[in-house]
Copies of this chain bind each other. A is one copy, B any other.
């Protein structure tokens, strides 16, 4: 065979820069991933997840599901990981996400693939970076969409440009995003169930507290705490095939401003959600994430705690057996929520919009501020007003 000696080259994979994104461009992300019982076990072992529909096959079947589904956040993190090499390898920062909708259950054996559409581009006035907005969708191998979400990231330019004049806007395309996923856009995964099964369910979860028992303004102090280790968060992040170097490359990060590996935010969400079991035992699954931000970095050695504030409570059209709770999950580091100032004096007035700037969320111990919508069974006696 003739050798192509003249083509000897150096191959590098630098990832996409701000100039590489085009509005309305569709990006198909690499490497579909078959999720299995093995991934479910690892998710439990790495996060401490205990919610019943993900823990027990018979209980999942009693809900009308064909099997025990994979944890919603395992699906979210796996789908998110697929987008990293194309979207955020050169990201300066993950700025936020919105309109995250859990559309259909994913079962062991299903294969996820993922694509994104560029829905917004906003160059920064400093000429060195810009913000990219993408709407991503994950599909099962039967082509059913299982998850849809918007996120926006700040990405470096390959070639810096001259800073813009003050007031100049460049060619901006900033999408309008909903403040939250409305109740009529929530997908319900399980079938309506006869009331009798509710007793079995509550015995399985160990709690009688149902949708009816939570009210806006309630604050739930979750008692547990979990210290994060480097091995833990890297193992979780590799499980999701997320390749962002900030989570793995300790040598490279030693020279960064942070000086350390950064714990993947999706792992922080998963751990804090697992901690939220105590006090929210009957959460049936996530229906939406309305908004979320990683307020401060989590590093190995930090101990995570969680507190939940009930933001709102919605009935679901056509479902007398189940309702939705809009919840605000705050992740804290190195401060047990029992010691959070102001926690024991809930505001008399429930918030009409998520109180993103309340003193509670501004505490320096807060690392995660997640506004999500969960489903929970309703008490049969209250169904008359459904």
A7 → chain B, closest Cβ, in Å? 5
Q: Is the CB of A111 within 8 A of B40?
A: no
Chain B residues with Cβ below 8 Å from A238 are 44-48
A205 within 8 A of B: yes
A297 within 8 A of B: no
Chain B residues with Cβ below 8 Å from A338 are 12
A151 within 8 A of B: no
Q: Which of B10, B12, B219 contacts A346 (CB 8 A)?
A: B10
Chain B residues with Cβ below 8 Å from A278 are 13, 85, 243
A126 within 8 A of B: no
Q: Mark out the residues of chain A between 287 and 305 whose CB falls within 8 Å of any chain B CB in the assembled complex.
A: 301-303
Q: Which residue of B lies closest to A314 (CB)?
A: B1
Number of copies: 3
Q: Is the CB of B224 within 8 A of A251?
A: no
A377 → chain B, closest Cβ, in Å? 15
Q: Is the CB of A350 within 8 A of B8?
A: yes
Chain B residues with Cβ below 8 Å from A306 are none
A372 within 8 A of B: no
Chain B residues with Cβ below 8 Å from A348 are 5, 8
Binds B, one of A29-37, A91-99, A184-192: A29-37
A19 within 8 A of B: no
Binds B, one of A53-61, A117-125, A159-167, A170-178: A53-61
Chain B residues with Cβ below 8 Å from A229 are 229-231, 234
A186 → chain B, closest Cβ, in Å? 15
Q: Which residue of B lies closest to A241 (CB)?
A: B50
Q: Mark out the residues of chain A between 115 and 151 whose CB falls within 8 Å of any chain B CB in the assembled complex.
A: 141
Number of A interface residues in the complex (CB < 8 A): 105
Q: Mark out the residues of chain A between 184 and 225 whose CB falls within 8 Å of any chain B CB in the assembled complex.
A: 203-207, 209, 215-225
Chain B residues with Cβ below 8 Å from A319 are none
A248 → chain B, closest Cβ, in Å? 5
Q: Is the CB of B232 within 8 A of A234?
A: yes
Residues of A within 8 A of B (CB): 1, 3-5, 7-15, 28-34, 36-42, 44-48, 50-52, 55-59, 68, 85-86, 108-109, 111, 113, 141, 203-207, 209, 215-227, 229-232, 234-236, 238-239, 241, 243, 245, 248-252, 261, 278-279, 281, 301-303, 313-315, 334-336, 338, 343-344, 346-350
- The 8 A-B residue pairs with the shortest CB-CB distance, nearest first, are A30-B206, A38-B41, A8-B217, A227-B250, A4-B215, A251-B303, A231-B231, A225-B249
